[in-house]
Structure 1
Amino acid sequence: MNFAIVGCGFIAKKHAAAISQTESARLVAVCDKVTDTMQLYKEEYGANDYNDLEEMLEKEDIDVVCICTPSGFHASIAVQVANAKKHIVIEKPIAMTLEDTTSIIEACKVNEVKLSVVHPNRFRPVVQELRKIMDQGLLGRISHVSCIVNWNRNQEYYDQASWRGTKQYDGGVLMNQAIHNLDLLLWFMGQPKQVFSMEATRFRNIEAEDVSIGTIQFQSGALGTVEASTTVYPKNFEESITIFGEKGTIKIGGTNALFFEHLELEDMTENQIQDIKESVKADPWGTPGHQWIIEDMVNAINDNREPAVTGEDGKNVLNLVLSFYESAKRNQPVQL
């Protein structure tokens, strides 16, 4: 299948690599308003370059378009691509507002094209193992969970482009960094019922938040805490999810949530637990998440099924982030 990329910044490199590593996919075109950014894709992948999206969609034989622009531009581009009858892989967050997200999802439905949102952490080996444990009910009922993303993004990171850290085009630590962990939290725990949040912009010269602390009540009755920041000195400190159940306690953690830091289950022997831990340690990254997303999109088209991470999944986690923002703004709990 023929792929194209719109927006040739940092994250586009991961998409290009994932496409090249997928047997049944090839990169045929790229589009960006800044011509120099497309040189890499011309030289390494033989992609044709375009400054105009409409021209690319008209001239190229494209099956799937990967949207890698700043988040605030996702909606207008995605609707245009869907109307051109092309399937879409869109970077997180799916959009910056629920209205824009709805317009993307509806455009894809009307034009009968597939829509996949890039939440690649779902495909990490440790996350896949945790999902198996959850699906088997080995934790029993859940009392509470903890979600932590304490990372470093220095001022230099935000100064790379004028859109970084803005509320209109980028968002803060919840929208940009912690959204991956929040997606996993919803994947494990189901829908939230109520949130309360406080946020601040402490160290970085940006419009959005660089630190956020929040609580969640899930529909199941379980409670959760969320702690996220880009203010940690001098480098990434922790990314983790801890789940406390009546029959077990599990923590996946490290600086990138790649390992089982704690795994204790009533209905699993020590040898079984050790085997799971060792299998994850042997290959903690596994197949790159973006490659999973690209391969899954190809298979979803061939099998005529929904992609693994749908537009509705992207909308659900965006709704959670926006609810945290609303709660912090109003300084009171928000019902979802």
Structure 2
Amino acid sequence: MTENVRIAIAGIGAVAEMHAESIDDLPNAELVAGSCRTAEKGDEFADEYGCNHYADTETMLDEMIPDVLVVCTPSGAHLEPTLAAANRGVHVLCEKPLEITTERIDEMIEACEAAGIRLGGVFPQRYNPVVETMYDAAASGRFGRLAVANAYVPWWRPDDYYEGAWQGTEELDGGGAVMNQSIHSVDAVQWLAGATMNIHGDENPVEEVFAYTGRLAHDDERMEVEDTAVTVLRFRNGTLGQLLGTTSMYPGSLKRVQLGGREGTAELLEDELVTWEFREEQPNDSAVRTKFTETTNGGGAADPMSIDYEYHRRNIAAYLNALTNDAPFMLDGREARKAVEIIEAIYASADRGTPVRLA
């Protein structure tokens, strides 16, 4: 892998703009092309970012021969461009979720491993400094035996968000408020809780879930899946948790994560650390409390684009650095799969009305 990584993007939608801005900021990356079936949108993207536009991803891969394909197509259409890249020996960085079922994800992982290429995922909250700080505290045992790991995503989306779009459909979204919006927090809470456990390889920190879901604020004509979900989590070490995921709570509020145990509690409101209290105070705790203050953007609570792309940039930079240095990447395909595995269990539990254990 050369130091200057040539990148193409499959799917020129809203999230592709964040990737393009991030790539533009990175000294070791060059955006060479984007694929989009809509000519006008593709040409505008190409003009703005100084790259080429293709109507077809496979043609783009054949003609541009990029080092990396970033997959930004609708969630249920991540498999096909990944397979196309694997067939050509092109590395893949894929937006969340990797795909909408673990079966399709496993096909992606197997194809990439067989081709000897790197499949990476995008969960920018893992690159949020305050979430990293919580992870380090969990990994160092500051909470003692972790008792509680909660995540709340009390968001809102208006009716026109789902009007004639792929969002909210079974085929391309694979779910609603959990699979699309709350998946970032699903990944974050399992990663944080997992830091306190002896987890091996692709073993999931979550052992069992029990969930209720409903479509309570949007009508059936616009949305096929849930806009509200409440889940109880049991982790493999006995830690208990709750997950709230909605697009039904007007006007939308910032997401929240809580970790707590006998030795301390930390609570995060978007980027603000509202609680950082431990039985044993450490010298830098006061500085930590003052470092992470009030969030300055909407956090996606009502507008999916009211977020800072800085954590996307850090996520992409980490993936590219892993490629160029032949080093491990925290969000490889098997790790990025875990959030979808949990969400599949949530939907199965809601359908059956019973707890569901993860494999």
What is the TM-score normalised by the length of structure 2?
A: 0.89
Q: Pick from 197, 200, 204 the counterpart of residue 214 of structure 2.
A: 200
Aligned-residue offset at 1:287: 7.6
Instruction: Give deviations 1:268-293, integer Å, cap 9, x for gaps.
Output: 25x63221022223998998111112
Q: Aligned partners of 2:36, 2:57: CA distance in 1, in Å?
A: 8
Q: Aligned partners of 1:143, 1:45: CA distance in 2, in Å?
A: 47
Query: Which residue of 1 is the match for residue 179 of structure 2?
Result: 175
Aligned-residue offset at 1:216: 0.8
Q: Pick from 245, 255, 258 the counterpart of residue 261 of structure 2.
A: 245
Query: Which residue of 2 is the match for residue 275 of structure 1?
Result: 287
Instruction: Give deviations 1:156-184, integer Å, cap 9, x for gaps.
Output: 1111x431101121120000111000101
Task: Tell whether the 8 Å contact from 1:7 to 1:67 is kept in structure 2 after alignment.
Answer: yes
Q: How does 1:41-190 map to 2 (within 5 A)?
A: 41-159=45-163, 161-170=164-173, 171-190=175-194
- Name the count of aligned residue pairs: 330
Opposite residue 286 of structure 2, the aligned amino acid is Q
Query: Which residue of 2 is the match for residue 232 of structure 1?
Result: 249
Q: Aligned partners of 1:221, 1:85: CA distance in 2, in Å?
A: 42
Q: Pick from 225, 229, 235 the counterpart of residue 212 of structure 1.
A: 229
Q: Aligned partners of 1:262, 1:180: CA distance in 2, in Å?
A: 21
Opposite residue 319 of structure 1, the aligned amino acid is E
Task: Tell whether the 8 Å contact from 1:115 to 1:310 is kept in structure 2 after alignment.
Answer: yes
Task: Tell whether the 8 Å contact from 2:271 to 2:295 is kept in structure 1 after alignment.
Answer: no
Task: Tell whether the 8 Å contact from 2:126 to 2:188 is kept in structure 1 after alignment.
Answer: yes
**Any unmatched runs of 5+ in structure 1?**
none
1:264 aligns with 2:277: yes
Q: Aligned partners of 1:292, 1:260: CA distance in 2, in Å?
A: 20
Opposite residue 60 of structure 1, the aligned amino acid is M
Task: Tell whether the 8 Å contact from 1:126 to 1:284 is kept in structure 2 after alignment.
Answer: no
**Any unmatched runs of 5+ in structure 2?**
195-204, 298-307
Residues 321 and 43 of structure 1: is their aligned pair in 2 closer, same or farther, counting only changes over 3 Å? same
Task: Tell whether the 8 Å contact from 2:271 to 2:294 is kept in structure 1 after alignment.
Answer: no
Opposite residue 348 of structure 2, the aligned amino acid is E
SS of 1:140's partner is coil
Instruction: Give deviations 1:36-77, integer Å, cap 9, x for gaps.
Output: 121232112211111112211111130011100101110111
What is the TM-score normalised by the length of structure 1?
A: 0.95
Aligned-residue offset at 1:203: 1.0
Task: Tell whether the 8 Å contact from 2:272 to 2:294 is kept in structure 1 after alignment.
Answer: no
Aligned-residue offset at 1:239: 0.5
Task: Tell whether the 8 Å contact from 1:115 to 1:307 is kept in structure 2 after alignment.
Answer: no
Which is further off, 194-203 or 138-147?
138-147
Q: Aligned partners of 1:284, 1:278: CA distance in 2, in Å?
A: 15
Aligned-residue offset at 1:99: 1.0
Q: Aligned partners of 2:286, 2:171: CA distance in 1, in Å?
A: 46
SS of 1:217's partner is strand
Which is further off, 10-19 or 164-173?
164-173
Q: Aligned partners of 1:287, 1:208: CA distance in 2, in Å?
A: 28
Which is further off, 31-40 or 118-127?
31-40
Q: Aligned partners of 1:287, 1:92: CA distance in 2, in Å?
A: 15
